[in-house]
Structure 1
């Protein structure tokens, strides 16, 4: 289940991206952005060889809060709509459920932003033009970065922790926005959530990782993409956080796909990809 959730978007996204030739990229595989439990946390970096625009876009490799590794040469085409526009793309992996919790996954992706910002010169990107996107659990992690980030901890012994993990633009596909209603003690919890070990949490602990709780006026511009027929992450999740963004005065937009479920195909996939790329072009412009 976790694999299908992670790759249903990627396969559709790939079908859109592979329709045309684009510029070549330089791949930097398995860049280590941190360590935990004796393991390296890594990302793959896809840098346009020509006309790089200096902006970074992070992709959250996550489905069901499980992060899978694939050879970057096989995933490169999935990011062509972005690299063809000059964006440097970072495919970020986090510690996977069930060994690691959602809270730990959030900490991991926070660190990835800090690391990339702290190494902006190395990657030839602007530390003030960082975007993030993902699908489902990856969308949730993207929203956490957009709503609940910080300026860093100057008291930490780890210099990476001194750096801000704020992002400058977010795109979230079919994203859970309120984990409290997905928790094991939630009265209206959907039976499908029983299949996700990451959601073996109570509503109280889920609060700390629910993006909708943290919406404030200084949040990053956010694009929400959701299917009206999604029976795993109902469209109400996106509608509720969009209402919160509007109330707080956050620049945001919700695009609803009338016939789509938990993933997009055909013209919906094309429209979603174009909207995602345009959002980053608009909000990560120099």
Structure 2
């Protein structure tokens, strides 16, 4: 695949490997007169693992799902963030937003479109992607300034969210029997020992819906396998229902395969999945571009020619 790779891009300027991103850009995007959209992948791992090592290459091409985006003409960023072993909540969402601001501020350098950015995550990464989409322009989650003034002035807004088997409601995430010790371990590492229900709700994307500003709800593709034995499928059903109850049913799409477990590559990186991901982005980003053009025309900033 003909791409340009940008390795270990320090998006906060603090020299931490946990605040670096990898970016793969199709070469035709660099040469094109118009920049290309970027999909930003946020990894799972219970907020305690999953960061890539220094010098890692091929992170997008080695994954069938990320490679499908590259083949479709998208750039793919894969971000590290401070894990709960390094910093407690809200450091994780602060880092995700800092990465978006950095990409937007450096869009011309990378050949990516600063107005077409997708947050895509799986499991704990889907929790963060959901949070990104539900807190656009919410200054509470921007975090401290990075070492890059231009990035600090940029927006952390995302245009779309792709959420695969995500944790929407930390307060209600539980499993029966001894398996719940694993879940409680993840939650305690993220929120701290002896965390309260109020803290768990505060860190839950589902609790951000009521605070959405008018017109700020972005399209979301919500997906979960019925047989997920780590993050029950109800997590995504709860989020879907809350969004529908709030009047955002026209902004969400869903996919609930009967099998797929918690990230089974045979399902989640299959052509059936990747074609769904790409077509969702194609449709909604095209609509975003058209609406932006119409808005510019109405303001006298462009012409229909």
Please state which band the TM-score falls in when normalised by the shorter chain. Answer: 0.7 to 0.9
Distance (whole Å) between structure 2 residues aligned to residue 252 and residue 138 of structure 1: 18
Q: How does 1:230-269 map to 2 (within 5 A)?
A: 230-250=228-248, 251-266=251-266, 269=269
1:112-169 alpha-carbon deviations (Å, 9 max, x no partner)? 1111111111122221110011110111111010101217699x87633332211001
SS at match of 2:231: coil
TM-score, length basis structure 1: 0.81
- Equivalent residues of 1:179, 1:203 under 8 A apart: no
For 1:150-195, what per-residue CA distance to the aligned partner results, in whole angstroms no more than 9, with x for missing partners? 17699x8763333221100110110000112249xxxxx9333134
Matched, 1:205 2:199: yes
Residue of structure 1 aligned with 2:58, choices 44, 61, 73: 73
| From 162, 166, 178, the counterpart of 2:169 | 178
1:61 matched residue in structure 2: 43
Aligned twin of 1:27: 5
Task: List runs of 5+ in structure 2 lacking aligned partners.
Answer: 290-305
Instruction: List alignment gaps of at least 5 residues for structure 1.
Output: 1-22, 184-188
Displaced runs of 4+ in structure 1, greater than 6 A? none
Match of 1:15 in 2: none
Cα distance change, pair 178–122 in 1 and its aligned pair in 2 (3 A)? same
Question: RMSD in angstroms over aligned alpha carbons?
Answer: 2.5
Tell which structure's C-alpha radius of gyration is larger.
Answer: 2
Alignment size in residue pairs: 257
Structure-1 residue corresponding to 2:208: 214
Cα deviation, 1:12-52, whole Å, max 9, x if unaligned, reads xxxxxxxxxxx41110100110045x635110110001257
The equivalent residue for 2:130 is: 143
1:39-75 deviations in Å (ceiling 9; x for gaps): 3511011000125761111011331113421422254
- For 2:185 and 2:145, locate their aligned partners in 1 and report how far apart those are by CA, in whole Å: 38
2:122 and 2:28 map into 1 onto residues whose CA distance is: 28
User: Which among 95, 100, 113 is matched to residue 82 of structure 2?
Assistant: 95
- Residue number in structure 2 paired with 1:44: 22
Is 1:223 matched up with 2:221?
yes
